[in-house]
Amino acid sequence: MTTARYSNHQLAEVFQLIANLLEIKGEVIYKILAYRKAADALINYGHDVNEVWREGKLTDIPGVGKAISEKIDELLTTGKLEFLEKLKREVPESLAQLLQVPDLGPKKIALFWRELEITNVSELEEAARKGRLRALPGMGEKSESRILAGIEAMARRTTRIPLGRAWPFAQELKESLRRVPGVVAVEFAGSLRRMRPTVGDLDILVAASNSSPVMAAFVGRPDVARVLGHGETKSSVEFTHGLQAQLWVHPPERFGTALQYATGSKDHNVRLRELALKQGLSLSEHALTRQDGSEIQCESEEQVYATLGLPWIPPELREDRGEVQAARAGELPSLIQLSDIQADLHVHTTWSDGKLSVKQMAEAAMRRGLKILAITDHSQSLGVAGGLTSEDLLVQREEIDHVQAEIGDRIHLLQGTEVEIRADGALDYPDEVLAKLDIVFASLHSGLRQPRDKVTERLLNAMRNPHVDAIGHPTGRLIPDREPADLDMAAILSAAVENNVALEINAHPSRLDLDGIYARRAIEMGILLSINTDAHAESDLDLLHFGVATARRGWVQAGHVLNSWDREQLLAWLYGRGVTNLVKT
């Protein structure tokens, strides 16, 4: 039996630390990359590693070979890893923090450690301010100043940027670059284009024959705090709010290969390069090159993929999780699109902690073309949100009916609830109250740090209730401030199948919960999903695209999602679950 349980994320952190310390130590690159790949694989693995370990199938995890699986086994068996403990005796663990300082690599960190016994950021800053770094080999006053500037930059930014923060700024930046004379195309790449929940620095690609005006407009923006680099083909800046961005300008005839390369992911690109080599080609950011040295230049990504015998692969799928194999077999899914969404089944009004009345929320939804809207205010136990009592629900029903009569059939209103799952596992309303509602979401808002078995049992208890139709934001995470609850997701997914309960993909960028990994596992098991905004104000309704993007990362098609169904199909599903207030269709 294991003496200490490690989540997938915690295991990934262990292997990331090993990779960082090995890099500072100066170990051979292939060992470092092996640990980084293992860390990435564990973070993105959709199953609980503890369960896979108990089944003796650790090597089934992509990126986990014999050596890594033995280390995972040691961690889960003994609660520690002797290899890491020995490494930390050789290289201080705190040195890994220094890799977060911009422009500071492992060789310089090793130099500072061995020559000046610097082991953390505070000691590095003190040494730089006292002028102790400039006398070291390869250093100087300018290098010292850059290190201080990098430390100051760290205070303004986190290592990963929430998607909801990066996206709106990226759109404004994109539009400003499009207006530069001579620009043919502008696209973001990297994690942002793949719509990961968090992104690193912003990567921007521009197609233009003349790079000079583009670069000048980029580095000359009034919100640029520092110009980190300014060249003919690439420039880097840091903005006043802490975000950093890199801009590349490519000739239009090479833009397709450049965009494909910069979008990634790294593992997806490796897979494409392997496919190119089998066809006698080499693939780079500049072109596809034949063995005789002649080039195939691609203006678009579609040309890149077509040259390799593939259909275009949507960016959200490019994580080397079988998308290239599916493309070769003609089995890529037809991913859900924002235009498929006809309903929002989880919104809040002034009845609890929302900003709009029922009528105002209905009108806002109609302006966005929605056909169905469920009013799902909080239940009574969530006092901070002004949750409704059972008596309040009766009065709210009258208001919803009145608004429905007033607006006619332009949108169909449902009365629901986001019922609280209490700390003891009980639901906030008795069954006779839940039975009278059109749709019921059950959610966790408190007690998220309970032990795994207890917090899991709370969700399972809710899913066993015949009146619960869906689970809202299942893991309860808040990006970047709150880790997800330590749930047994295998048990949660199995219960969703058994009880025909839908799972929500909450579109708010602070949640994006269920994430793409578990969304894919859910649809593989036949579980229905529901993409909702959890709107508390009109502007929140415009966040729906984040939820759709998260679903696309999970290979989700429109048919898997309740919100994409038409009114008759959705009401029929609810009626089949025993909702008595609906007219059978």
**pLDDT exceeds 80 at position 361:** yes
Tokens standing for residue 73: 């086994």
In three-state secondary structure terms, 164 is helix
The mean of the pLDDT values for the chain is: 91
pLDDT of residue 584: 39
Look at residue 2 in the predicted model and tell me its pLDDT. 45
Please state which architecture CATH assigns to domain 161-250.
2-Layer Sandwich (3.30)
Q: Render pLDDT for 295-305 as a digit per residue (tens, 0 to 9).
A: 999 999 999 99
What SS3 class is residue 345? strand
Q: Which tokens belong to 495? A: 């219960």
Task: Please give, one letter per residue, the 3-state secondary structure of 560-579.
Answer: HEHHHCCHHHHHHHHHHCCC
Q: Report, as an integer, the average pLDDT of 410-415.
A: 96
- For the chain, the domains span 8-156, 161-250, 269-328, 338-576
CA angle in degrees (0–180, nearest 5) for 492-498-501: 70
CA distance linking residue 121 with residue 14, whole number of Å: 20
| Nearest of 498, 549, 527, 491 to residue 51 by alpha carbon | 491
For β-strands 224-230 and 234-239, DSSP reports them as: antiparallel
Query: What was the pLDDT predicted at 290?
Result: 96
- The sheet with strand 439-443 has its strands ordered as 343-347, 372-375, 412-420, 439-443, 470-471, 502-506, 529-532
How much is the pLDDT for 155?
66
DSSP state of 425: S
The yes-or-no verdict on residue 1 having pLDDT over 80 is no
Kind of pairing, strands 529-532 and 198-199? Answer: unpaired
Give the least confident one: 185-199, 370-384, 426-440.
370-384
Q: Answer whether CATH 2.40.37.10 is correct for domain 269-328.
A: no
Q: Which of 459, 527, 465 is nearest to 496 (CA)?
A: 527
Mean pLDDT is lowest, of 104-118, 174-188, 496-510, 541-555, for 104-118
422-440 average pLDDT score: 94
Of 200, 318, 227, nearest to 268 (Cα)?
A: 318
For residue 46, pLDDT over 70 is answered with no
Question: pLDDT value at position 585?
Answer: 36
Q: Determine the Cα–Cα distance for residues 83 and 498; give it in Å rounded to an integer.
A: 43
**pLDDT > 90? residue 13:** no
pLDDT of 145 reads: 87
Q: Averaging pLDDT over each range in 169-173, 381-385, 479-483, which range is the top one?
A: 169-173
Q: What is the pTM of this model?
A: 0.77
Q: Which of 221-235, 481-495, 541-555 has the highest mean pLDDT?
A: 541-555
Q: 58-72, 146-160, 335-349, 505-519: which has the minimum mean pLDDT?
A: 146-160
Q: What is the pLDDT of residues 21-43, one digit of tens each?
A: 999 998 888 889 889 888 878 87
> How does residue 249 score in pLDDT terms, banded at 50, 70 and 90?
very high
pLDDT for residue 237 is more than 70: yes
Q: Report pLDDT for 581.
A: 60
CATH code for the domain defined by 8-156: 1.10.150.110
CA distance 310 to 306: 5
Please answer whether residues 111 and 64 qualify as being in contact, where contact means their C-beta atoms are separated by less than 8 angstroms. no
* Least-confidence region, from 108-112, 237-241, 283-287, 343-347: 237-241
Res. 582 pLDDT band, cuts 50 70 90 = low
CA 7 to centroid of chain Cα atoms: 18
431 pLDDT higher than 70: yes
What is the DSSP secondary-structure string of 434-470?
A: HTTSSEEEEE--S-TTS-HHHHHHHHHHHHHSTT--E
Residues above pLDDT 90, as percent of the chain = 71
Average pLDDT over residues 383-409: 92
> CATH code for 338-576?
3.20.20.140
pLDDT at 451 exceeding the cut of 90: no
Q: How many CB atoms lie within 10 A of CB 17?
A: 17
86, 198, 500 from 478: Cα distances, Å: 35, 12, 26
Residue 194 confidence (pLDDT) above 50: yes
Which residue in this structure is represented by tokens 């952190």? Answer: 13
Which phi and psi (to 5°) does residue 205 adopt? -120, 135
